[in-house]
Amino acid sequence: MLHTDFSVTTGELPGGDRPSEDRIFQAPGVVIVLDGVSTVSDDEPRGGWYAHTLGDHLTAGLAAAPNADLRHLLEQAISAIVREYGLVAGSSPAATVSIVRRRGEEIDALVLADSPVFARTNGGGFDQVRDNRLAQLVAGRPEYAEYQSWLRAGRGFKAPEHRALLQKLRTHQLRHLNNDAPGGYWVAEAVPEAARHAVVRTWPTADIAEILVMTDGVSAAVEEYGLYPSWGHLARVCRTDGPDQAVRAIHDLETEEDPDGRRWPRYKVSDDKALAHLQFPHAAPHDTSTQGFGEVY
């Protein structure tokens, strides 16, 4: 049986002129955050469509089987989309997936690809659920070093060569997509088996004070930009100002302080952002100082 005695606030913001491809779904006792991943081209369907369709299937699956294994539910949802729309592995849009579910006296979390979950315990520390396989693929690769050097030189996102560089990076990633070879990583796309490789965690409900669920457009604010020195600082902003103010602050930092990516090389001026903040009524009192919020795991 799912319980609903926690509050959820959310913030969402598109990175540019197009509608956001991130999605947040809520159901009794469940929050789902997805980051739609499109190909470099403008081909349809796009990542936002995939994220929305996958979110619908996951919500329906959780309603029908609220206590089922999250990996199994995700695999079923991907399988259904592949059958219904004839998606082909390697040329399909995709999505990262994060799910948080309260199930009686336990809280379950699932993460597939780079949309992490951070839970603040009643002891004051943060426990992470994250999938770093794509980041490990990127780290140290000459293709990414070349791209970073391009941006640091001030050539920016609007240069004609920018799309060609992105396609080069995408080609490298596709060689490692949804496979167990060294350097491989997994994402929800057209290979249902990817769900079996999701990172999962379960906590006693009584141990958790609050949870942050986000796409990488938000996590960059802590891990790359230093806008928020720790996950605890980001959580406190969510409590005091709301997730919508947090995502707006990140967007403004990118577009106003580093619009050409010279300081913080990235794939676009500003990424789509989605952030959900879950608070539990049994949480320990909030610390108004920074003590206990400095851990970055």
Return d(Cα 101, Cα 62) in angstroms, integer. Answer: 9
Answer whether residue 107 is part of any domain: yes
Q: Model's pTM, two decimal places?
A: 0.92
CATH of the domain at 223: 3.60.40.10
Q: Does residue 249 belong to any structural domain of this protein? A: yes
pLDDT, position 39: 61
Q: What are phi and psi of 20, to 5 degrees?
A: -60, 145
pLDDT single digits (tens) 242-285: 999 999 999 999 999 999 999 999 999 999 999 999 999 866 55
Domain residues for the domain of 103 are 7-136+177-257+270-279
What are the CA-CA distances from residue 77 to residues 179, 204, 230 (Å)? 19, 27, 34
What is the per-residue DSSP string for 32-52?
A: EEEEEE--SS-PSS-HHHHHH
Residue 290, domain member (yes or no):
no
What are the beta bridge partners of residue 117? 129, 213
Does residue 287 sit within a domain? no
Total domains, the chain: 1
Burial call 39-62: b when 16+ CB within 10 Å, e when fewer: beeeeeebbbbbbbbbbbbbbebb
Establish whether the linkage from the previous residue to 45 is cis, with ω within 30° of 0. yes
Residue 172 located in a structural domain: no
Has residue 265 been placed in a domain? no
Q: Domain for residue 228, yes or no?
A: yes
Confirm whether 159 is domain-assigned: no
Give 168-216 pLDDT, tens digit per residue: 888 888 889 999 888 899 999 999 999 999 999 999 999 999 999 999 9
What's the CA gap between 281 and 208, in Å, rounded?
10
